[in-house]
Structure 1
Amino acid sequence: MSTVTLRPMTEAEFAEFRQATARAFADELVATGGWPPEQALERALQGSAELLPRGTATPGMLLFTALRDDGTPVGRLWLGLTHPRGVPDCAFVHDIEVVEAHRGGGLGRALLAAGEDVVREHGVPAVELNVFGDNARAIGLYTSSGYRVVSQQMRKDLRG
């Protein structure tokens, strides 16, 4: 099994992370019909700023860079020790990503497990995450890692 080590994200990594995650989230919002392209990036950046008002120093938020055994950065992880909707005793995975060039070798599973270990170390007994419905690869990873659906949102486009 692949392993990763987590270290706190640097300020430079955070600046790049904030832009990249906002862009990726905005693209998903557009693709799923949730937002028009001209508003999606602004909304994604606003949401990030609201959740991380002090960047890497925001209380209750943990931002990590994932490293392979040889020290190569292979991903990133953003955990909230409290749930954004107030679910008691439940942390939240806001973002998890393995660098594209390193996907397919078990690092996503290792990164998810490392994040779960961090949540346990902080005394939080559960963790949730959201995943877009068209992300079959991620859904497969989460399901095989013991996650189950606790809510589901569906949409029908009525424009034609």
Structure 2
Amino acid sequence: MSELTVRSMTEIEFGQWYSSLVRAYADEQVAAGNWSAENALQMARQSNETLLPDGFATAGMLFLKGELHDGTAIGVLWIGLTHPRGIADCAFLYDIEVESAHRGAGYGRKLLAAGEDVVRRHGVSALELNVFGDNDRARRLYQSSGYRVITQQMRKTLTDER
């Protein structure tokens, strides 16, 4: 497997990625039963605008692109150097995405490790993330990479049946 490196996204790359990020986030929230399909895209935009008030220029946010040495795009990372709930010395991984043509080849692990290295170089000693409960592939990746469950949300859909 070729070596993978990460670099900062360009502003043009950010714009392309951001459009697909908003759509994917909306779809994930609908699939999880959190949002209605009718409102999901608007809610995803609002959520991301809250996190990124200055878009690409938002302070403390890293937008990284993973590439092979020949320039082949492998995936992207979005990392906040400060935790959204104020946890000290802990960054937050908002998004990791491996290009569909490169999934299943071990690049997710390499991309995650490269992101962890960037966080360390910024002087932060922990990285946290959220993963949807039905995303078995991602959960296995994170667990095998040393991540552990800190909190867990569970839901049961209730019906009128008694």
TM-score range, shorter chain: over 0.9
* Structure 2 partner of 1:59: 59
For residues 131 and 46 of structure 1, the distance between their equivalents in structure 2, rounded to whole angstroms, comes to: 20
- Unpaired segments of 5 or more residues in structure 2? none
C-alpha deviation, 1:69, in angstroms: 2.0
Q: TM-score, normalised by structure 1?
A: 0.96
For residues 84 and 133 of structure 1, the distance between their equivalents in structure 2, rounded to whole angstroms, comes to: 20
SS at match of 2:85: coil
Q: Deviations over 1:110-145 (max 9, x none)?
A: 000000001100110100000000000000000000
SS at match of 2:124: coil
- Alpha-carbon contact 1:90-1:125 (below 8 Å) kept: yes
For residues 75 and 129 of structure 1, the distance between their equivalents in structure 2, rounded to whole angstroms, comes to: 17
Q: TM-score, normalised by structure 2?
A: 0.94
For residues 98 and 73 of structure 1, the distance between their equivalents in structure 2, rounded to whole angstroms, comes to: 9
For residues 159 and 75 of structure 1, the distance between their equivalents in structure 2, rounded to whole angstroms, comes to: 41
Counterpart of 1:105, as a letter, is: A
* Structure 2 partner of 1:129: 129
Q: 1:100 to 1:11 in 2, by over 3 A?
A: same
* Structure 1 partner of 2:99: 99
Q: Does 1:113 align with 2:124?
A: no
- Alpha-carbon contact 1:2-1:110 (below 8 Å) kept: no
C-alpha deviation, 1:3, in angstroms: 3.1
SS at match of 1:128: strand
SS at match of 1:38: helix
Q: Does 1:76 align with 2:76?
A: yes
Alignment length (residue pairs): 160
- Alpha-carbon contact 2:2-2:69 (below 8 Å) kept: no
Whose radius of gyration is greater, 1 or 2?
A: 2
- Unpaired segments of 5 or more residues in structure 1? none
SS at match of 1:94: strand
Is 44-53 or 133-142 further displaced after alignment? 44-53
Q: Deviations over 1:29-66 (max 9, x none)?
A: 11111010011111111111111122222110000111
Please give the root-mean-square deviation of Cα atoms over the aligned residues, in Å: 1.2
Counterpart of 1:123, as a letter, is: G
Identical aligned residues as a percent: 61
Q: Does 1:154 align with 2:154?
A: yes
For residues 89 and 41 of structure 1, the distance between their equivalents in structure 2, rounded to whole angstroms, comes to: 32
For residues 55 and 105 of structure 1, the distance between their equivalents in structure 2, rounded to whole angstroms, comes to: 32
Runs of 4+ in 1 over 6 A off after TM superposition: none
